[in-house]
Amino acid sequence: MSQTNTRPRSIGARTALGGLVALSLTACGSFGGGGENTEEATPEGDGTISFWHYYADPHGIPLTNVLEAYDEDHDEVEIDVRHIPFPDFNRTLQQAAATGEVPDIALINAFDTHAMAEAGIIEDLSDRVEKWGEEDAYYETSWATTQVDGSTYGIPHVADDYAVYYNQDLLDEAGVEPPETWAEMEQAAAELSEHTSHGIAICGREGAEGATGILLRTLAAGGSLEQFSDGGPEALGSFQTMVDNGGLSQGFLTWSEEDAKNQFATGQAAMMINSATYVNILREEAPDLNWDVVPMPTDEVSRTFLSAENLAIGAGSGDADAAWDLIAHLQQPEVLEEYLPKRNKLPARDDVPGAVEDPVRQTFAEELENAWAPQGELATHSNEVLAAVQEAMQATISGSKSPEDAAADAQARIDEILSASS
């Protein structure tokens, strides 16, 4: 959920399609691919594959490189790459759909897939996927993000998830082991705060981005986002405990994921909850920091949260066959083994061992087996739902509401959001 340049990294900040869904696209009419108008487009296409994405540099550099390599090896096609800043991406795609000029390929937030499919912006890929035969290579949660009413509307591009980073030197100094349960996390955070400024750093700022930690804790308690009243009170109480015992600064309510990383990288926090995105960043920014990662702690279960993107074909693309060939190429294990470490992401499929040979990245990759992601209408409205959860956390930490009352109020708001969309 943090932002590096213009690209946020979590469920809330990335799920910007609430605005897209709110806008009526039922009158979009026909679509043309490759940035052409509908009069010029032909069924055969023009040999140019338009590819839209929101990866700001340096994240866009590995993608550009792999697309250029494909372009050089395929004389019959030309790839026209367009970068659109993340905050503008869905709006630009929606506007293009309204004028019949969607791209041949759009790299989209995985949790926007449902809304884009319902809006008629992206194509049903089910027949192509059946012939392709590689559906079973993908992690179950990653593949589920591509499904809308039993049909496939995208192919997972990359994955990301969350784990606990810890400073080995500070844990050794305090005589603390990396926590395996949330009860151990609460105690460890308190003990570690006696040896540095904060036992743990977590993003908690206003809005959906700040709800990731509470979501992870709720999932561990056996709860869910739809039924936040089940597991939510335990999660809110756990965070309140860590603030009260000094393990977690109340200032975390203003921290982004980037802020949490900075606290950890400078030794101000002994642990942090964050995504695999920060593996390479930490190694570059804090090369002398002695750190490692462990899976998310257990309560009833151990769960992580999937952050992901899908590759989709624009509805009515004149170059759909060529677009599909490129998507299939990008998902070849040998291509991913070279691309993913440079992109600082995880594979969405489980047959790419070369991309996760690094022990730290292997921990994150193994966690994908236990990953959770919103689906259907919840995915479409997850930004609003998570904002309600973050508000419950604010109310709990400020002392204005008990964890039980805050969770009940959040549940009422969640029910209102989801019922309005049905």
Residues in the chain: 422
162-305+381-421: CATH, from 3.20.20.80, 3.40.190.10, 3.40.50.720, 3.40.140.10: 3.40.190.10
What is the Cα–Cα distance from 177 to 191, expressed in whole angstroms? 11
Residue closest to 253 by CA, chosen among 201, 198, 209, 205: 205
**Structure tokens, 143:** 């593949």
Domain spans in the chain, listed from the N-terminal domain onward: 3-160+308-375, 162-305+381-421
Residue for token pair 């969309």: 421
Q: Which CATH architecture has domain 3-160+308-375?
A: 3-Layer(aba) Sandwich (3.40)
d(CA 1, CA 33): 31
pLDDT truncated to tens, each residue of the chain (422 aa)?
Answer: 333 333 333 333 333 344 443 332 222 222 223 333 333 333 456 789 999 999 988 889 999 999 999 999 999 999 999 999 998 999 999 999 999 999 999 999 999 999 999 999 999 999 999 999 999 999 999 999 999 999 999 999 999 999 999 999 999 999 999 999 999 999 999 999 999 999 999 999 999 889 999 999 999 999 999 999 999 999 999 999 999 999 999 999 999 999 999 999 999 999 999 999 999 999 999 999 999 999 999 999 989 999 999 999 999 999 999 999 999 999 999 999 999 988 989 999 999 988 888 899 999 999 999 899 998 889 989 989 999 999 999 999 999 999 999 999 999 999 999 998 76
How is the chain split among helix, strand and coil, in percent rounded to 5? Answer: 50, 15, 35
pLDDT at 422: 63
Q: How far apart are CA 209 and CA 260, in angstroms?
A: 12
Fold match, 3-160+308-375 / 162-305+381-421: yes
**C-alpha to C-alpha distance for 242 and 248, rounded to whole angstroms:** 5
Distances in Å between the Cα of 285 and the Cα atoms of 4, 98, 265, 275, 355 are: 14, 43, 8, 16, 22
Q: Of 304, 337, 376, 334, whose CA–CA distance to 139 is shortest?
A: 304
Whether the model pTM is above 0.95: no
Q: Read off the pLDDT of residues 324-345 as tens digits, 9 standing for 90 and up.
A: 999 999 999 999 999 998 898 9
